[in-house]
Amino acid sequence: MNVFFEEDGSFKVASVMSETDSALQVESASGKRSKIKANTVLLRFEAPLSGFMDTANSEAATLDLDFLWECCGEDEFGTVEFATEYYGRKPTPTETAAIAIKLHSAPVYFNRKGKGRYKAAPAEILKAALAGLEKKRLLAERMAAYVAQLKAHEMPEELMQKLDMLLYAPDKNTFEYKTLDAAANELKVNHIKLLHACGAIPSVHDYHLGAFLREYFAKGTQFANEEIAEIPDNLPLAEAEAFSIDDSTTTEIDDAFSMQALADGLMRVGIHIAAPALGILPDSPLDVEAMKRLSTVYMPGNKITMLPEAAIRPFSLDAGEIKPVLSLYLDVAADYTITHRESKVERIKIADNLRHDNLEPYFNEETLSADSGHPYWANCLFLFNLAESLEKARGKYDPTKPPQMDYNFYVENGIVSIIGRRRGSPMDKLVAELMIEANQQWGALLAAHEVPGLYRAQMGGKVYMTTKAEPHQGLGVAQYAWSTSPLRRAVDLINQRQIMSVVQGTAPTYPPKSDALTTHMRNFELTYKNYSDFQTRMERYWCLQYLIQEHIEEVHATVWRENIVKIDFPPYMTKVYGLPELKAGMRVSLKVQEVDTLMMELRTKFICVLEEAPTILAIDEDDVFIEAPPVVETPAVEEAQAPELNQEVVG
């Protein structure tokens, strides 16, 4: 005797070897023996096993589900009884098996009620279920067509309409994502690479920029309100005229210097900071917008300003104009010691805006000993000597320190130029030290008058922000309150309001234990870091683009640690897989194999160790990162005219 039975959701046939009331020992046509439960047996028959299932399946294929559903009635039924009723006679074993197979294959039509027992689905439910199946079928057909288009590197219009989601916020439950995923899996490529190949990412640069804008400027970069308050016209006019020193691309000029010889042989040096706090009132619409942005966003070839142009121009220290400023005056003796300090809120005339590229040929290490003929050479020399005196007073003067490089990125019409500038040059030191002096002295002024401010502190190697005056060990100062870039940083604007309240003898905008002050500090600290990470990412993008642009096939690099190297130029850190074990500081030559600006990846191959002498590197393993290298808070980085100098990509 043979049996037709159900096991693991499918039907099988086998010969009976032995049997009890509850179980059977059976043997399949292949000779495999097994034990099955008696209640799984749907049919007993004597026909040969060979070909039984093939015949039953062929018969099942001829059966019409709609007709079967109409024949079965509303009551629950068994397979054998229904087969008898359907054929109008005693069915053959293969016909009974065919009915079982067909009923089992259509759960939409027939609800299963037990082994070999079913009940027809109600008409309304069946209609809805069939509509759902048809919808799925059409959807599957559409997906298959779109997958074929994607594999042919054509972008379906329906997917294009969901491009933002596919690029930046993938929703795995959507039809569009599943379609893209299916095509990417078949091609064995990354989703983003496939979209790029299909022309959905016309600009790789804009793809990276778009991710940032989507998160921080979802409503666009335009300002809703650009109105500023009326600037007081009764501020005193400074006796001296000022000049600024900035990069050629700087448009928000927020610091300048003046010099005035005093009768007693002293030189009065003025540090003048643009005063937008006079025109941007706390909690005004423009202030609310500034406190959302919190900083100007810098990237090669572009920037998103914290303030609108209409609010920048009245305060930017542009040449030939008289502008309101917050000034710190230093009375400097012949030995460059400071005998007196005084802060004022006033107006000053800006005589010149000096630019790095024009000034540096006339003011550098080689021109310190002799007049270069530049009209500001003598002033710059005096300020540089004062800067070195201030650096020594901070305990940070070290002429033996190895030089470090900063890099400026200039982008025009998609062509990038990367210009290296040695950090700590006379021009940089002049600006950096005087800014540090202003920031620490104004921080001390706030602390002395018990007026809260926002301080940058460093203790035990950790850099953090606080509302209390705490030491900054890296800079060697007792306190450090960012105050010299109020056109570009919200922290500086906030501190300027507090400083002005002390200087002018008015109530501070943010009183002690101000919740608003603490909130602004926390928001700024997080946002500023994210802005900095974005700037670093875009600089890394342009470094990769430079390799493509200049057709560079071989680069030299310095081993940083393990398989991490720092490429000489463009300044880029990367991993080199297959790099032999080399000491840190060893010089190597690498072959450029693949540059991928879309995925921000550089693949190189080790060629050889260079014979030139190894470069000695100061390495702190806790401060080495690949994607977002650390910003070491040295004077040049902290206040050397900003992020506009674009801190070195590799940290």
Give the tens place of pLDDT for each residue, 30-50: 889 999 999 889 999 988 888
Pairing of strands 564-567, 572-575: antiparallel
The residue written with tokens 């299916």 in the block is 182
Alpha-carbon distances of 368 from 361, 362, 372, 425, rounded to whole Å: 11, 9, 8, 11
The gap from C-alpha 328 to its chain's centroid, in whole angstroms, comes to 38
- Record the tokens describing residue 383, joined without a space: 């300020």
Q: How large a percentage of the chain has pLDDT more than 90? A: 72
Instruction: Give the pLDDT of residue 628.
Output: 33
Q: What is the pLDDT of residues 312-361, one digit of tens each?
A: 999 999 999 999 999 999 999 999 999 999 999 999 999 999 999 899 99
Asked if pLDDT for residue 112 goes beyond 60, the answer is: yes
pTM of the model: 0.78
Element (H, E) at 411: strand 404-412
Res. 634: pLDDT tops 70 = no
Q: Token pair for residue 437?
A: 């002096």
Nearest to 253 by CA among 183, 179, 352: 352
pLDDT above 80 (res 625): no
Task: Answer yes or no: are the C-beta atoms of 196 and 204 closer than 8 Å.
Answer: yes
Q: Where are the domains of the chain?
A: 2-121, 125-202, 532-639
Average pLDDT, integer, range 58-82: 89
Q: Which pLDDT band, with edges at 50, 70 and 90, does 422 fall under?
A: confident
84-113: average pLDDT = 90
pLDDT of residue 402: 78
> Would you state the pLDDT for residue 424?
81
pLDDT at residue 135, as a whole number: 84
Which is more confidently placed, 34 or 618? 34
Asked which of 228-232, 283-287, 544-548 is least confident by mean pLDDT, the reply is: 228-232
Per-residue model confidence (pLDDT) at position 181: 95
User: Which long-range contacts link 287-295 to residues 24+ away (Cβ below 8 Å)?
Assistant: 289/223, 289/224, 289/225, 290/490, 290/493, 291/490, 291/520, 291/523, 293/490, 294/489, 294/490, 294/491, 294/520, 294/523, 294/524, 294/527, 294/528, 295/488, 295/489, 295/490, 295/524, 295/527, 295/528, 295/531
Q: What is the pLDDT of residues 423-446, one digit of tens each?
A: 788 999 999 999 999 999 999 999
Average pLDDT over residues 395-406: 83
For residue 483, the model assigns a pLDDT of 96
The pLDDT-based confidence of 621 (bands split at 50, 70, 90) is: very low
Does the pLDDT of residue 91 top 60, yes or no? yes
Q: How far apart are CA 473 and CA 477, in angstroms?
A: 7
Query: In which element (H, E) is residue 458 found?
Result: strand 455-459
pLDDT of residue 519: 95
Q: Can you name the CATH fold of 532-639? A: OB fold (Dihydrolipoamide Acetyltransferase, E2P) (2.40.50)
Q: Which residue's structure tokens are 């620490």?
A: 440
What was the pLDDT predicted at 651?
25
Lowest-pLDDT choice from 49-53, 273-277, 398-402: 398-402
Q: Are 563 and 575 in contact (CB under 8 A)?
A: yes
Strands 33-37 and 41-45 turn out to be unpaired
Instruction: Give the pLDDT confidence score for residue 612 in this predicted structure.
Output: 62
Is the pLDDT score of 645 beyond 50?
no
Confidence of residue 215 (pLDDT cuts 50, 70, 90): very high
Please provide the average confidence, as pLDDT, over all residues in the chain.
Answer: 89
